[in-house]
Amino acid sequence: MADDFLSHPPHPSSMSKTNYHRQTLSSRTTASLLGLALGDAIGLYTEFLSASESRAAYPQKRFILWSCPPGPPTPFHMDSHRAQNEEGDWTDDTDHCLLVLLAFLHTARMREGGEGVEAVVPIFDGEERGSFAVKVGKLPLPSATDLAERLSIWVRCGLRALDTLPLGLGALVGNVVRSPDFLGDPMKVARSYWTTHTAPNGDKLAPNGSLMRTAPVGLICLWKTEEECFRLAAELGKVTHADPRCVVACVVGSALVRGLVRGEVESGGDVTDLIRRGVEWYKNEGSKMDGAVRDTLDEQEVWRFVGHETTLADLKLDEEGKIGYVYKTLGAGVVLLRKAFGERMKSDGPRQKQERFERLITQLVMEGGDADTNACFAGALLGATMGQEALPDHWRNGLNHGKWLSGKATALCRVLGLEDGKYNGKEDLDTHPDGGRGILSREEMDKRWRDFDKRTRQKMDAKRKR
């Protein structure tokens, strides 16, 4: 993977007020991206287990991906699901986040010294209120068509930039994306699928597959207005998930990441206010967008999962048959965010922040259910407010492809004007829809799947022998 164009180190800078705030926002942006991948990787340990099964499988309630001196990571509770991965892997949740990020980076550009376009950035830092200016790059936003193309390639071939398989494909995404009409009009296909398919209990489908990829929207909209962030999140969410609950969750989730990085969301009350704005925007604007489903939104249902008194126990994250409900994932992230705000102290240093990030994510994944998706979303929120120093070293150093992801975070910070250095997405082969590797044929994919199945069976056989 060519990261050569990122080789220019940041210029030395004094800790002026502007540089301090640039550094703070850069740290939060990077931590949000890495935090979602770390949450995803840790959540894989208990995905699809119940809370009681999680406690039995991991009685010490601690997960280690890397140790010093280097040692083996915490082993998976081995079954046919986890045998498909290695410890430290992220899953389809992070892959789909990357589809959004790479689509954005592909058309982004920052010349050495800045593009000359200034964004006036508000400062929200405790009692201080003001603004500072940064030079930002060329930043076209990704479209629904861009995401649809990348989803179609991922479903067939996996994440080409890293040459990985499309593991964890959800039923809704698979059926919608594989439709012969998907690339022509993805929102129409998604809306039609939602209309004609219902869950066993008679409710329309509202799974979390669009929410899981929404965090990068908040990052790429850092200099956009909150309403612009709402709109892009709704547009990209509807590419696969038409249900109003899914759209509202994407709107709120993206805007939370944006507000946390900017420092506008600093308390539980700020979280509540933003959720209210997101719901109102959807009722007044989002429900009238092209491709929107004309269906009433139950506001009480939203607040049942994200209210200020909601707990992880209230969410019933391992509830049989309902673990993938979008409001459960939204609620999981909001509950952890409120907890983090409630525990925060001015004297917190890196050790306290890392302990808090690890403890909160661990508490969440020990609830089981769709743990990787829940922790992926929650990790993005915690990273966005706590910054890089909160990411546990023994997780970050054990994340597979972690250095590659850090490189993309650097690229994002550069085009946003938060770090010095140049970047041209067109020259970054990773950002191309095919990852610079080409599209695999059906025969090539069939062989990869056969080899993969063989390795998985060997893992399971080794477990049975032990």
**Confidence at residue 60, expressed as pLDDT on a 0 to 100 scale:** 96
**Confidence at residue 6, expressed as pLDDT on a 0 to 100 scale:** 36
Residue 373 annotated as lining a ligand binding site: yes
**Confidence at residue 202, expressed as pLDDT on a 0 to 100 scale:** 60
Q: What per-residue string of b and e applies to 249-268 under the rule 16 or more CB within 10 Å gives b?
A: bbbbbbbbbbbbbbbebbeb
Tens digit of pLDDT at every position of the chain (466 positions): 333 333 333 333 334 677 888 899 999 999 999 999 999 999 999 999 999 999 999 999 999 999 988 889 999 999 999 999 999 999 999 999 999 999 999 999 998 766 655 666 666 655 556 666 778 888 899 999 999 999 999 999 999 999 999 999 999 999 999 999 999 999 999 999 998 886 655 678 899 999 999 999 999 999 999 999 999 999 999 999 999 999 999 999 999 999 999 999 999 999 999 999 999 999 999 999 988 887 789 999 999 999 999 999 999 999 999 999 999 999 999 999 999 999 998 889 999 999 999 999 999 999 999 999 999 999 999 999 999 999 999 999 999 999 999 999 999 999 999 999 999 999 999 999 999 999 999 999 999 999 999 999 999 998 888 7
> Do 19 and 27 touch, CB atoms closer than 8 A?
no
**Confidence at residue 5, expressed as pLDDT on a 0 to 100 scale:** 31
The Cα 2–Cα 35 span in angstroms is: 23
**Confidence at residue 200, expressed as pLDDT on a 0 to 100 scale:** 57
**Confidence at residue 355, expressed as pLDDT on a 0 to 100 scale:** 97
Which residue pairs from 263-268 have beta carbons closer than 8 angstroms and sit at least 24 positions apart in sequence?
Answer: 263/24, 263/123, 263/124, 263/125, 264/122, 264/124, 265/385, 266/124, 266/341, 266/385, 267/341, 268/308, 268/338, 268/341, 268/342
The Cα 100–Cα 215 span in angstroms is: 9
The Cα 92–Cα 213 span in angstroms is: 9
The Cα 386–Cα 422 span in angstroms is: 27
Query: Which 3 state secondary structure label does DSSP give 135?
Result: strand
Residue 430 annotated as lining a ligand binding site: no
Residue 372 annotated as lining a ligand binding site: yes
**Confidence at residue 126, expressed as pLDDT on a 0 to 100 scale:** 55
**Confidence at residue 121, expressed as pLDDT on a 0 to 100 scale:** 65
**Confidence at residue 21, expressed as pLDDT on a 0 to 100 scale:** 86
* CATH fold of 16-451: ADP-ribosylglycohydrolase fold (1.10.4080)
**Confidence at residue 4, expressed as pLDDT on a 0 to 100 scale:** 33
**Confidence at residue 124, expressed as pLDDT on a 0 to 100 scale:** 60
**Confidence at residue 465, expressed as pLDDT on a 0 to 100 scale:** 83
**Confidence at residue 436, expressed as pLDDT on a 0 to 100 scale:** 96
